[in-house]
């Protein structure tokens, strides 16, 4: 029996796979002060559903896969360890300078970001290595020992080390690591060349500092999770989802917590790719949009590959902290069910980025929210049934939602309440469409040719309209779309990533250096796979080159299928592959420029799960499919709209909107212009 959970800001999702292959899905409220409590509550729902006690059910468990925002929340709320940073002499301000850049150039109310580690805890170590790895100035161990004494005196709880050119020659970083271990044995250390070998010292320093600062608390959190699951009767393996879209054993997370920063959202494209393929859209690019209460997370699948990025920011770009570590490219914008609608002094409507969040939440939740939100608009329009929200688990107050929208939006705009509610949806939809446009243009994907996957419990409410604006002919709301990341978690593999920073160019290609690096990376992957042992049913190793044309600033990821470079033909093949990849993303190729490689990354994936499918257990409820509801659409006004129960629909039949499809976890709205069908995979496919 397998469990996969994803802790979101509002809900904790749980997907359970029984040994007979049956899959079920549960949602419990997230407890921000004690995230493990939300996980246990969801597990209790699953146990009750099976007529078992929690301990009996857990005792049958083989694996528990956990997605957590604990690391990111700790950074946002400043609860990380007291961390020191050691840098090369003369370069104290790496974390102050960052890489420049700014958003909102006329906004002089936002202060310059503070460095992740304060200057008072940043120490300059006398040493210098140059670009080719030569030591220009040896490490002064005497000064270093003085610094270590200061670290002790300052009660530092974690130490990050980032020296210039440590990725080319790590001798000084390694030695500092040894001395720290010797003199501060209980203080965790992160060395930049090991955490994130990349040729940009700011990103390396930022990764190392973030990593070190998370070590004590992630160790404690996962220890507590493991212990509480064990106390409750679970004896299997505890896994944690990684930013790169895989999973790792919880025991190892505290060695490299940087790997799990975006645990959770990174899984959405894994699930999205699976569901697109299930309905024979394997050859199309996929846009995966996950609607939450406060954020709208967008990720992509391009030609079967999930694009990665080193530009994951905690907080706003240029204002927050750059993680710098390769992560699944997920763009997150402040738009969701909780986004607040308001009319400004000039009479213009705004939706978001302010959010009512989970607390106080939308007005209709009756938890004290007074500002009208997107969710309130969907209740007013008849999209959400106030009596069947979360399968009836939560009653919604429609009258209060109407009153808030009337007073705060409809009256100031001089329009009807339903007209106002519709424009709130329309503007929220537009904001989401623009966010998708931003990420797709940057990744060279034409949204009109792609398939849109709607994930998250609220996706169905406006994804038809989003898809229509994007121009795509296919929108898929997967059967398990309401818990997309948890579903992705269930199908995720045990993974590890290894990287090396090197520099070479097709103009003077250093085959030996590249071949040695490839050999080392594969050896590390093989060793990892061996450690996974017989549980690994299948092992995949993939190599990615970080490459660019000469003098370009931004590199792109290019899959590297070759094991070693033997001849000029191999180098020519590399540059041809790069030209094609560049043209794919940027629409142009430049065959006259040399191609530079600035780094290599390897990912090893060990498949642990038996079977490939993931179908929700269907329990044919005797729902009445002939029920109708009055629902408001812009084109047709209040319209008699047919209601369907997702779990009792038959497959394959093409149905014309308007329609509302409901399940305990989600509501899907299709207006009169759309068609839809339930496919054999259990998904609803909509042609908007």
Quote the CA–CA distance of 353 and 417 in Å, as a whole number: 22
* Residue 33: both structure tokens together: 């002060």
Q: Please give the C-alpha separations between residue 100 and each of 103, 202, 524, in angstroms, as whole numbers.
A: 11, 11, 35
Tell me the β-bridge partners of 630: 640
Nearer to another protein, 441 or 527 (CB): 441
Site for another protein (CB under 8 A): which residue of 51, 346, 533, 652?
Answer: 346
652 binds another protein (CB under 8 A): no
519 binds another protein (CB under 8 A): no
Nearer to another protein, 2 or 98 (CB): 98
317 binds another protein (CB under 8 A): no
Q: Rounded to an integer, what is the distance from CA 556 to the centroid of its chain?
A: 19
Quote the CA–CA distance of 205 and 163 in Å, as a whole number: 8
43: left (phi > 0), else alpha (psi -120 to 50), else beta? alpha
Nearer to another protein, 91 or 629 (CB): 91
442 binds another protein (CB under 8 A): yes
438 binds another protein (CB under 8 A): yes
Q: Restricting to residues 195-234, which ones interact with another protein according to CB under 8 A?
A: 199-202
How many CA atoms are closer than 13 Å to the CA of 188, on its beta-carbon side? 25
Nearer to another protein, 418 or 647 (CB): 418
Contact pattern from residue 21 through residue 60 relative to another protein, giving x for each residue in contact according to CB under 8 A and a dash for the rest: ----------------------------------------
106 binds another protein (CB under 8 A): yes
Tell me the β-bridge partners of 602: 498, 543
| Nearest C-alpha neighbor of 682 from the set 285, 88, 278 | 278
Site for another protein (CB under 8 A): which residue of 287, 323, 401, 420?
Answer: 420
Q: How far is the CB of 382 from another protein (least distance, A)?
A: 19
**From 477-485, 518-526, 528-536, 586-594, span contacting another protein (CB under 8 A):** 586-594
Q: How far is the CB of 538 from another protein (least distance, A)?
A: 36
473 binds another protein (CB under 8 A): no
Site for another protein (CB under 8 A): which residue of 62, 430, 510, 617?
Answer: 430
78 binds another protein (CB under 8 A): no
Q: Restricting to residues 258-297, which ones interact with another protein according to CB under 8 A?
A: none
| Nearest C-alpha neighbor of 455 from the set 306, 244, 269 | 269
140 binds another protein (CB under 8 A): no
Nearer to another protein, 507 or 628 (CB): 507
Contact pattern from residue 364 through residue 403 relative to another protein, giving x for each residue in contact according to CB under 8 A and a dash for the rest: ----------------------------------------
- Give the position of tokens 């609860």: 79
Q: Is the dihedral of CA 536, 542, 543, 547 positive or negative?
A: negative
569 Cβ contact partners less than 8 Å away, ≥ 6 residues apart: none
Q: How many CB atoms lie within 10 A of CB 296?
A: 26
Nearer to another protein, 78 or 611 (CB): 78
Q: Please give the C-alpha separations between residue 104 and each of 101, 114, 319, 354, in angstroms, as whole numbers.
A: 10, 18, 11, 17
102 binds another protein (CB under 8 A): yes
315 binds another protein (CB under 8 A): no
Site for another protein (CB under 8 A): which residue of 385, 397, 426, 570?
Answer: 426
343 binds another protein (CB under 8 A): yes
Mapped onto helix, strand or coil, the DSSP state of residue 271 is helix
423 binds another protein (CB under 8 A): yes
Q: Are strands 237-241 and 63-67 parallel, antiparallel or unpaired?
A: parallel
Strands (DSSP E) along 426-581, which ranges?
A: 451-455, 475-477, 494-505, 538-549, 556-560
Q: Rounded to an integer, what is the distance from CA 43 to the centroid of its chain?
A: 23
**From 46-54, 218-226, 286-294, 342-350, span contacting another protein (CB under 8 A):** 342-350
634 binds another protein (CB under 8 A): no
**What is the DSSP secondary-structure string of 36-93?**
HHHHHHHHHHHHHHTT--HHHHHHT-SEEEEE--HHHHHHHTT-S--EEEEEETT-TT
Site for another protein (CB under 8 A): which residue of 136, 235, 393, 527?
Answer: 136
Q: How far is the CB of 416 from another protein (least distance, A)?
A: 11
| Nearest C-alpha neighbor of 656 from the set 679, 634, 672, 640 | 672
Q: How far is the CB of 55 from another protein (least distance, A)?
A: 51
118 binds another protein (CB under 8 A): yes
Binding-site ranges for another protein (CB under 8 A): 90-93, 96-112, 118-120, 130-131, 136, 164-165, 199-202, 343-350, 412-415, 420, 423-424, 426-427, 430-431, 433-434, 437-438, 441-442, 503, 549, 551-554, 585-588, 590, 592
């Amino acid at each position: 029996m397998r469990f996969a959970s994803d802790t979101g800001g509002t809900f904790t999702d749980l997907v359970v796979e029984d040994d007979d292959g049956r899959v079920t899905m549960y949602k419990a409220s997230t407890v921000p002060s004690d995230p493990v409590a939300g996980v246990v509550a969801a597990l209790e729902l699953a146990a009750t559903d099976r007529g078992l006690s929690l301990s009996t059910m857990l005792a049958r468990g083989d694996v528990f896969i956990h997605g957590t925002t604990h690391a990111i929340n700790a950074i946002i709320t400043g609860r990380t360890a007291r961390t020191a940073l050691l840098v090369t002499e003369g370069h104290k301000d790496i974390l102050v300078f960052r890489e420049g850049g700014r958003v909102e150039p006329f906004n002089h109310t936002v202060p310059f970001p503070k460095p992740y580690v304060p200057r008072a805890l940043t120490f300059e170590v006398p040493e210098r290595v140059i670009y080719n790895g030569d030591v220009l100035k040896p490490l002064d161990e005497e000064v270093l020992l003085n610094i270590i004494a200061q670290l002790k005196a300052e009660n530092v709880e974690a130490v990050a080390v980032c020296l210039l050119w440590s990725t080319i020659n790590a001798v000084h970083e390694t030695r500092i690591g040894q001395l720290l271990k010797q003199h501060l044995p209980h203080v965790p250390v992160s060395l930049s060349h090991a955490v994130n070998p990349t040729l940009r010292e700011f990103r390396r320093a930022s990764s190392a500092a973030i990593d070190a600062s998370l070590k004590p608390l992630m160790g404690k959190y996962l220890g507590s999770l493991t212990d509480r699951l064990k106390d409750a009767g679970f004896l299997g393996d505890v896994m944690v989802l990684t930013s790169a879209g895989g999973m790792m054993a919880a025991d190892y997370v505290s060695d490299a917590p940087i790997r799990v920063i975006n645990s959770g959202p990174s899984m959405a494209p894994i699930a999205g790719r699976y569901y697109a393929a299930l309905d024979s859209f394997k050859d199309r690019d996929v846009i995966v949009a996950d609607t939450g209460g406060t954020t709208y997370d967008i990720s992509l699948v391009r030609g079967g590959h999930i694009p990665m990025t080193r530009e994951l920011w905690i907080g706003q770009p240029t204002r927050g902290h750059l993680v710098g570590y390769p992560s699944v490219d997920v763009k997150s914008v402040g738009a969701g069910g909780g986004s607040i609608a308001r009319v400004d002094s000039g009479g213009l409507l705004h939706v978001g980025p302010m959010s009512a969040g989970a607390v106080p939440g939308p007005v209709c939740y009756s938890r004290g929210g007074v500002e009208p939100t997107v969710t309130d608009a969907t209740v007013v329009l008849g999209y959400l049934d106030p009596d069947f929200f979360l399968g009836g688990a939560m009653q919604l107050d429609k009258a209060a939602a109407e009153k808030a929208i009337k007073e705060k939006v409809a009256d100031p705009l001089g329009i009807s309440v339903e007209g106002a509610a519709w424009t709130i949806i329309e503007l929220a939809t537009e904001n989401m469409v623009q966010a998708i446009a931003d990420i797709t243009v940057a990744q060279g994907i034409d949204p009109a040719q792609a398939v849109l996957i709607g994930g998250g419990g609220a996706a169905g409410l406006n994804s038809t309209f989003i898809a229509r604006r994007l121009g795509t002919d296919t929108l898929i709301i997967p059967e398990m779309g309401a818990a997309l990341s948890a579903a992705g978690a269930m199908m995720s593999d045990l993974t590890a990533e290894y990287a090396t920073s090197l520099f070479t160019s097709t103009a003077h290609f250093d085959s030996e250096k590249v071949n040695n690096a490839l050999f080392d990376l594969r050896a590390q992957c093989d060793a990892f796979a061996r450690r996974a042992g017989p549980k690994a049913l299948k092992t995949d190793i993939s190599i990615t080159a970080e490459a660019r044309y000469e003098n370009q600033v931004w590199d792109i990821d290019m899959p590297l299928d070759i094991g070693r470079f033997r001849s000029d033909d191999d180098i020519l093949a590399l540059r041809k592959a790069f030209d094609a990849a560049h043209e794919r993303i940027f629409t142009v190729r430049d065959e006259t420029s040399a191609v530079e490689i600035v780094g290599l990354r390897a990912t090893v994936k060990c498949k642990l799960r038996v079977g490939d499918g993931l179908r929700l257990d269907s329990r044919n409820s005797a729902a009445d499919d002939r029920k109708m509801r009055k629902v408001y659409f812009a084109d047709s006004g209040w319209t008699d709209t047919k209601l369907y129960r997702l779990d009792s629909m038959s497959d394959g039949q093409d149905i014309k909107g308007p329609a509302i499809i409901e399940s305990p976890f989600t509501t899907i709205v299709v207006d009169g212009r759309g068609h839809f069908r339930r496919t054999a995979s259990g998904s609803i496919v909509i042609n908007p």
